[in-house]
Amino acid sequence: MSVPLTLLGLLEREPSHGYDLKRDYDALFGRGKQLPFGQVYATLGRLARDGQVAAGSAEPGDGPDRKRYAITETGRHVVDTWLAEPVEPEPHLQTVLFAKVTLALMLGKPAAAYLDTQRAAHIRRMQELTEIKRTGPLVDTLLADHALFHLEADLRWIDLTSARLADLAEAVKTR
Amino acid sequence: MNSPAATSGRMIETRHVAKNFGQTFALRDASLCVAQGEILAVMGPSGSGKSTLLHCMAGIYTPDQGEVLFDGQLLNTMTEADRTKLRRTAFGFVFQFGQLVPELTAADNVALPLLLNRTKRKVAYKTADTWLDRLGIGDKGARRTGELSGGEAQRVAVARALALAPKVIFADEPTGSLDTLTGEKAMDLMTGLAREQGTTVVIVTHDARVAAYADRVVMVRDGLLTPADLPSSPAGGPYGTSAPATASATAAAKGMN
């Protein structure tokens, strides 16, 4: 799961304080595991250093950090690239793919097209693995089989998610 | 426009093909090229229109709109008799179920289409034996197909399709009734031998693992065709393949987004 990119994506909705970001992240992507405050502020610090977010001046208050963070043009570009690029097809991608689809729907970006790109990357990898099975020794075939079954599971999830996008978009927007 | 030169390398081409069943649009604006020797997989969930596409390509269904060309010849305007002849001589078929005559032996089943095409009996049976051998079931020639296992029967069906030396093999869910390993062996043999022979293959499947045996994968969803794999080279364009002919599902693909 890519925490920095997901936080950056959340910031594309509207400028936020670190606390609000953490709360939204935990609710949407935490799956029962909370993001430590320290990690949120360290991440925001790195994103600011890299020019992907801009920190406003501190507001009066008690919190550890009362700055409001806003995404920059560079940051928007980074989010767009991340969403549109397929993830390297390897097993156990569910959290990354889930975060990308959810953010894309939230930001009104073409989630269906992203899923199509991901499907294409998966199929290409499955073709490569099948070629290994066709030409390689049996031991390689066993490893290729394992990867193929996991990629197939991803693909079925991609297909089902594609079919559910309209309902998902509603669910994400009404949060 | 349909001169042999213009269609060289294009074995099957559909242009804006549409097919309805009553009020149901099974297939809309399907444009696709399958190059000679190419192995194409058509994926999609059940009811998506992928079998309808295959039936249109094979001249079994006549499209309501659009054109289907085989080796540059327009199928739409052929007489039914000519189309039947084409299906019997140039096309091989491998389906999921019920394609073999269970009372006949494996050798009879493979020889039958050859005999129908007036091949001499001796030659037909020799060819049948050769192909059963290549599919690893040379010892099953005298067995009735009704007594064979599912995997063996499917190999007989593949042998029967290849024995005709067809230009194109159409396979509809060829592994649908087989367990994973048996299905993979059948796919491996079918695609391997087809590559050896330079035979074009169109496989319809809902199974991504089966589709992965193909050179190129397209998807049908709700009757619309989209490319489903990445171009094999940057020069190939969005629907590119290494083969000279490319799928052009542009309109359909744009409609999806």
> What angle do the packed helices B106-116 and B150-163 form, to 10 degrees?
20
Q: Contact B107/B132 with Cβ under 8 angstroms?
A: yes
Task: Give the Cα separation of B112 and B106 in Å (integer).
Answer: 10
Looking at the structure, tell me whether residues A70 and A93 fall in a common domain. Answer: no
Confidence of residue A171 (pLDDT cuts 50, 70, 90): confident
Looking at the structure, tell me whether residues A126 and A62 fall in a common domain. Answer: no
pLDDT at position A102 over 80: yes
pLDDT at position A38 over 70: yes
Is B200 a domain residue? no
Task: Give the Cα separation of B34 and B49 in Å (integer).
Answer: 18
Residues of A in contact with B192 (CB under 8 A): 134
Query: Which domain-ending residue is among A84, A99, A133?
Result: A84
Task: Give the Cα separation of A148 and A137 in Å (integer).
Answer: 16
- Alpha carbon of A41 to those of A3, A16, A29, A69, A82: distances in Å? 12, 12, 17, 11, 22
Structure tokens at B232: 């094999």
Which of residues B216 and A65 earns the better pLDDT score?
A: B216
Query: Which helix (DSSP H) or strand (DSSP E) does residue A59 occupy?
Result: none
Q: Is the minimum CB–CB distance between A120 and chain B shorter than 8 Å? A: yes
Domain of B157 in residue numbering reads as 97-165
Looking at the structure, tell me whether residues A50 and A112 fall in a common domain. Answer: no
Task: Give the Cα separation of A116 and A132 in Å (integer).
Answer: 25
Q: Contact A35/A49 with Cβ under 8 angstroms?
A: no
Is B212 a domain residue? no
Q: Is the minimum CB–CB distance between B228 and chain A shorter than 8 Å? A: yes
Q: Is the minimum CB–CB distance between B103 and chain A shorter than 8 Å? A: no
Residues of B in contact with A152 (CB under 8 A): 208-209
pLDDT in tens, A17-32: 999 999 999 988 887 8
Domain of A145 in residue numbering reads as 87-175
Backbone angle region of A40, left / alpha / beta, with phi > 0 → left and psi within -120 to 50 → alpha: alpha
Q: Taking CB atoms and an 8 Å cut-off, how many pairs form between chains A and B?
A: 49
Looking at the structure, tell me whether residues A98 and A66 fall in a common domain. Answer: no
Residues of B in contact with A159 (CB under 8 A): 45
Residue B142's SS3 state is: coil
Looking at the structure, tell me whether residues A159 and A100 fall in a common domain. Answer: yes
Residue B243's SS3 state is: coil
Q: Is the minimum CB–CB distance between B208 and chain A shorter than 8 Å? A: yes
Could you give the number of structural domains in chain B? Answer: 1
- Alpha carbon of B214 to those of A44, B188, B192, B201, B254: distances in Å? 46, 10, 10, 9, 24
Query: Which domain-ending residue is among A55, A84, A113?
Result: A84
Looking at the structure, tell me whether residues A26 and A94 fall in a common domain. Answer: no
Structure tokens at B131: 């192909």
Q: Is the minimum CB–CB distance between B124 and chain A shorter than 8 Å? A: no
Is B114 a domain residue? yes
Residues of A in contact with B226 (CB under 8 A): 116
Residues of A in contact with B227 (CB under 8 A): 120
Number of H helices, E strands in chain B: 8, 10
pLDDT in tens, A107-156: 999 999 999 999 999 999 999 999 999 888 888 898 899 999 999 999 99
Q: Kindly report the pTM of this predicted structure.
A: 0.79
Looking at the structure, tell me whether residues A73 and A150 fall in a common domain. Answer: no
Task: Give the Cα separation of B248 and B238 in Å (integer).
Answer: 9
Looking at the structure, tell me whether residues A92 and A170 fall in a common domain. Answer: yes
Mark which residues 5-64 of B lie under 8 Å from A by CB: 45
| H helix intervals, A85-164 | 94-106, 111-135, 138-163
Looking at the structure, tell me whether residues A128 and A149 fall in a common domain. Answer: yes
pLDDT in tens, B72-94: 999 988 999 999 989 989 999 99
Query: Which domain-ending residue is among A84, A100, A119?
Result: A84
Is B106 a domain residue? yes
pLDDT at position B217 over 50: yes
Q: What angle do CA A15, A17, A19 make, to 5 degrees?
A: 140
Rg (CA), chain A: 19
Looking at the structure, tell me whether residues A174 and A95 fall in a common domain. Answer: yes
Looking at the structure, tell me whether residues A99 and A46 fall in a common domain. Answer: no
Looking at the structure, tell me whether residues A60 and A1 fall in a common domain. Answer: yes
Could you give the number of structural domains in chain A? Answer: 2
Q: What is the CATH number of the domain that holds A39?
A: 1.10.10.10
Note the pLDDT of residue B230. Answer: 59
Q: Is the minimum CB–CB distance between B222 and chain A shorter than 8 Å? A: no
pLDDT at position B247 over 70: no
